[in-house]
Amino acid sequence: MSRTHQRLLPPALWIATAVLLAAYVAYRLLSPGA
Amino acid sequence: MSEAAAASNQLVSWPVALQCARDRLRSTPVLVFGSLLILGELFVGHMRSGADIFGGYSFSAHVFLLGLTLLLGSALISEELESGHAQLVLLRPLSRAAFFGGRLAGAGIALFIIMAVAWAVGCGAAWSAGRFSSDDLLALPVGFAWAFAWLAVLAAISVVARGASNTFWVLTTVVLWALAKFSLAGANLIAEKNHKWEWITQLHRIGSAVLPYVGPQDPTDLLEKMSQHAAADYGPLLYDLVWIAGAWLLGAFLLSKRELARRRA
C-alpha cells in the first residue's frame, strides 16, 4: 500500500465515536429521571 | 494484516506523543498554570466533596484548569504544520491520523501528569481536614475526561486555524456561551416578574435546551451526588467521551484532507 493511498481514517475512530454516541443516547433514554 | 495496513490503522504514534509531552511540560506558561492549579488544591479540604477538586465550588480549579488546557492545546497541530516539522515526520511510514493522535495524546499525557499531582494534593488536603472519602479517587478520571475533551476540540481546530488562534476561537466561544446563558436567564427573570414579553421566556426555554450541548459538559457534579449517596448522573461524563472521540475523528479527518490538498497543489 503506497502512502498516497493510505486509509483516510482508522476504522477504530469511527467505531469509537458511533459506540460512545449510541451509549450516551441510550443512557439518556433509559436512565430514569434524567 | 500487512504491516502497512496495520500502520494506517494506528491511532497514536507514541514517539510523537512522548516528544510532544516533553516539549509541553518544559513550557514556562504551562508550568506556571500547572503550579497555580496545584496550589489551589490546598484549599479543597474546606470544600464539599471530590467534585471540588477539578470543578464544583473551586474557582481556582475552574480558572487554572481551563487556562492549563488552553495552553496545552494552543497551536498543538498548527505549529508543526507551519514549521514544516509535520511534513518531515510524515515522510516516515506514519499515517496522518497517527500523527494527529500522537500530538493529542502527548498534550494529554502532560495534562494528566499535572492533574495527577493536583489531585494528589487535593486528596491530601481533604485527608488532613478529615473528610477524605474513596469517592474522591474518581475525581482524577472524571476531571481528566472533561479537560481532555476540551483538549481534543482545541487539537481539531488547530488543524485549520493559524498559529495559536485555536485558543482564541475556543475562548471566544466560551465567553459568548456564558454571555448568552446569563443574559437569557437575567432577561427571563425580568420578563417573568413583569408578566410580559413571553417571547423572552420562549427564547430562554430554547436556550436552556440547546446551550448545554454546545461543547463538553462539566461532569464533576457526579462526585457531589455520590458523596450525598444520591442518584448520580453519568450523562455529562458520557457526553464528554463522545466529544473526545468526535473531535479526534474530525481532527484526523481535517489533517488528512489538508495534507492531501497541499500535495496536489
Q: What DSSP line would sit under B75-106, residue for residue?
A: TTTHHHHHHTHHHHHTTSS--HHHHHHHHHHH
Q: Across the interface, which of A4, A17, A23 has its CB nearest the CB of B249?
A: A17
Spell out which residues of chain A touch residue B149, defining contact as CB-CB under 8 Å.
Answer: none
Query: pLDDT tens across B100-126, in order?
Result: 999 999 999 999 999 999 999 999 999
Q: Which of B56, B99, B45 is nearest to B76 (CA)?
A: B99
Query: Is the pLDDT confidence value at B2 over 80?
Result: no
The pTM is what? 0.92
Q: Which residue has the cell 458511533?
A: A18
Q: Select the residue from A1, A4, A5, A9 to test the B interface by mutation, using most B Cβ atoms within 10 A.
A: A9
Q: What is the dihedral of CA B50, B51, B55, B58, to 10 degrees?
A: -70
Spell out which residues of chain B touch residue A16, defining contact as CB-CB under 8 Å.
Answer: 245, 248-249
CA distance A29 to chain B (A): 11
Using a pLDDT cut of 90, give the percent of chain B over it: 80
Better-predicted residue by pLDDT, B45 or B236: B236
All residues at 6 or more sequence positions from B84 whose CB lies less than 8 Å from its CB, including other chains = none
Query: pLDDT tens across B184-226, in order?
Result: 999 999 999 998 888 999 999 999 999 999 999 999 999 999 9
Domain ranges for chain B, please list them: 10-264
CB-CB contact of B220 with B51 (8 Å):
yes
3-state secondary structure of B182: helix
CA–CA separation, B146 vs B203, rounded Å?
28
Report residue B265 as a C-alpha cell: 497543489
Q: Which residue has the cell 500535495?
A: B263
Angle between the B59-73 and B28-40 helix axes, to the nearest 10 degrees?
160
Count A/B contacts: CB-CB distance under 8 Å. Answer: 70
Q: What's CA B129's distance to the chain center, in Å?
A: 29
Q: Which of B216, B22, B6 is nearest to B102 (CA)?
A: B22
CA–CA separation, B21 vs B82, rounded Å?
19
Nearest CA in chain B to A23: B238
Is B8 within 8 Å of A7 when comparing Cβ atoms?
A: yes
Query: pLDDT tens across B161-182, in order?
Result: 999 999 999 999 999 999 999 9
